[in-house]
């Protein structure tokens, strides 16, 4: 995994990502303390609303922002987003009202919804080799998991010396460091989609282009179902861990980080092993079983929660949480490989923006189910319902993702005329022009062939 860091440009971009992630983690801790200072016992409500604002920004605005920025080079987009995030972080210590928190959080998440898809679409251009790109995806997954473990510990250590307001300064420094590294990196000339004609597709068409690409590509439709399956397990961990540990098992608050640490450890270990596993088995062979495993874990959790907890319950919870982390890593880490396979170079930013938005829509749904059902119907009912969601999603993914799934497909063009550059080497048939190439949805290919064959 580490040899990919020998690539100078990627090393700087990865370092920028890590620094920004640490800054984001510090903001999470500081924001919780700020909310308590402003709202007291209503701090949970403030944070819940802030998370909802985050999800709305991610789900609703990422495709629109991508459509607006589709003609811009990546460097100013990335640096501009980092500068906005740094400015917001500097402003958070000075807020005195709850509504000010909401406004600044919305601005912060809009900038993140701009940065993340643009960053994700850039990495395949920097690392065109499949093996290097897979290692980069595993490193990215590892960075996210380590941030979950490292940032709270760093914040706790810093708070013994400084007040929480200074954590926002650390956040701003992280975003500024990220911007500096992006400026210093030698970025490739990224291929962009052709500019629309004067009376061609407008903003709405460009904003929905990535979603249409997802819905028209079988493996990407399956990816959405897989994301929903793994989000069901992840939401159980993120929303209800404290309830399982404190209320169901009656353990100390200090055990909550241990449970979350088991979840992170499962994900980290899997991310370390994944490049070799993918090289041997491929994406589909790993991702589909992971979705069914997530469903099985939730259904087993529902049954176990109904039983009286004994000495076995705490080790079983840690093992289950580690397994949830492993399934999430098995599905989320190869996601970039599927998106890259399924989009033309000029559509990568659009495709990653759609994946960013749609995947967060899955998490928004499962977060809501985990919280609402857990509070009103109890933990067993919540786990059972989410297990059913995960099982249906896993079955849908298996049906939607054909096997085999070759990149090169034979297909017929009926609308293109003789002499079109795309038809070079095509054979004339009774229905049109027949040829084969690596198939993606684009301006010349609007739907997946009804019958496909590897050439």
Going by pLDDT thresholds of 50, 70 and 90, the confidence category of residue 197 is very low
Tens-place pLDDT, residues 257-304: 788 888 888 988 998 888 888 888 889 999 999 999 999 999 999 999
Going by pLDDT thresholds of 50, 70 and 90, the confidence category of residue 453 is very low
Whether residue 71 is predicted with pLDDT greater than 80 in this model: the reply is: no
Q: Where are the domains of the chain?
A: 1-190, 209-402, 406-455
Going by pLDDT thresholds of 50, 70 and 90, the confidence category of residue 203 is low
The mean of the pLDDT values for the chain is 83
Instruction: Report yes or no: 274 and 337 within 8 Å, Cβ to Cβ.
Output: no
| Rounded mean pLDDT, 29-37 | 72
CATH number of 209-402: 1.20.1250.20
Residue with tokens 């904003």: 207
Going by pLDDT thresholds of 50, 70 and 90, the confidence category of residue 398 is very high
Fold classification of 1-190 is Growth Hormone; Chain: A; (1.20.1250)
Tens-place pLDDT, residues 205-255: 676 787 888 889 999 999 999 999 999 999 898 888 878 888 888 888 778
Whether residue 452 is predicted with pLDDT greater than 50 in this model: the reply is: no
Tens-place pLDDT, residues 180-192: 999 998 887 655 5
- Given this model, what pLDDT does residue 115 score? 85
Going by pLDDT thresholds of 50, 70 and 90, the confidence category of residue 129 is confident
The CA distance from 455 to 452, in Å, is 9
| Rounded mean pLDDT, 386-410 | 94
- Given this model, what pLDDT does residue 415 score? 85
Residue with tokens 């601005």: 107
């Amino acid at each position: 995994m580490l040899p990919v860091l020998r690539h100078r440009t990627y090393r700087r971009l990865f370092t920028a990502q890590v620094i920004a992630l640490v800054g984001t983690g510090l903001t999470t801790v500081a924001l919780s303390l700020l909310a308590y200072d402003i709202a007291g016992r209503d701090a949970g409500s403030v944070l819940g609303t802030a998370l909802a604002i985050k999800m709305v920004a991610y789900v609703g605005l990422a495709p629109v922002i991508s459509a607006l920025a589709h003609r811009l080079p990546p460097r100013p987009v990335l640096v501009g987003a980092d500068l906005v995030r740094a400015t917001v972080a500097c402003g958070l210590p000075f807020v005195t009202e709850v509504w000010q928190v909401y406004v600044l959080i919305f601005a912060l998440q809009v900038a993140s919804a701009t940065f993340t898809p643009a960053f994700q679409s850039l990495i395949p251009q920097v690392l065109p080799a499949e093996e290097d790109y897979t290692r980069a995806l595993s490193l990215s997954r590892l960075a996210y998991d380590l941030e979950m473990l490292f940032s709270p510990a760093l914040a706790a250590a810093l708070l013994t010396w400084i007040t929480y307001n200074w954590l926002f300064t650390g956040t701003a420094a992280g975003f500024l460091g990220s911007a500096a590294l992006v400026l210093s990196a030698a970025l490739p000339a990224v291929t962009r989609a052709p500019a629309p004609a004067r009376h061609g597709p407008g903003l709405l068409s460009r904003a929905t282009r990535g979603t249409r690409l997802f819905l028209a590509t079988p493996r990407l439709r399956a990816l959405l179902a897989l994301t929903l399956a793994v989000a069901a397990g992840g939401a159980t961990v993120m929303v209800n861990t404290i309830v399982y540990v404190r209320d169901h098992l009656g353990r100390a608050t200090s055990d909550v980080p241990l449970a979350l640490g088991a979840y992170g450890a499962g994900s980290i270990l899997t991310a370390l092993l994944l490049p070799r596993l993918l090289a041997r088995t491929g994406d589909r062979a790993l991702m589909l079983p992971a979705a069914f495993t997530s469903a099985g874990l939730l259904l087993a959790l529902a049954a176990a929660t109904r039983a009286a907890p004994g000495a076995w319950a705490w080790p079983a919870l840690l093992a289950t949480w580690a397994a949830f982390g492993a399934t999430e890593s098995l599905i989320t880490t190869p996601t970039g490989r599927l998106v890259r396979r399924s989009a033309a170079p000029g559509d990568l930013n659009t495709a990653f923006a759609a994946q960013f938005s749609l995947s967060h829509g899955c998490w928004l749904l499962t977060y809501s189910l985990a919280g609402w059902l857990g509070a009103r119907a109890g933990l067993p009912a919540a786990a059972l319902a989410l297990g059913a969601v995960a099982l249906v999603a896993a079955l849908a993914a298996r049906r939607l993702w054909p096997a085999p799934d070759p990149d090169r497909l034979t297909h017929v063009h009926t609308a293109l005329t003789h002499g079109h550059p795309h038809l070079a080497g095509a054979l004339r048939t009774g229905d049109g022009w027949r040829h084969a190439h690596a198939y993606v949805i684009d301006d010349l290919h609007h739907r997946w062939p009804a019958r496909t064959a590897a050439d």
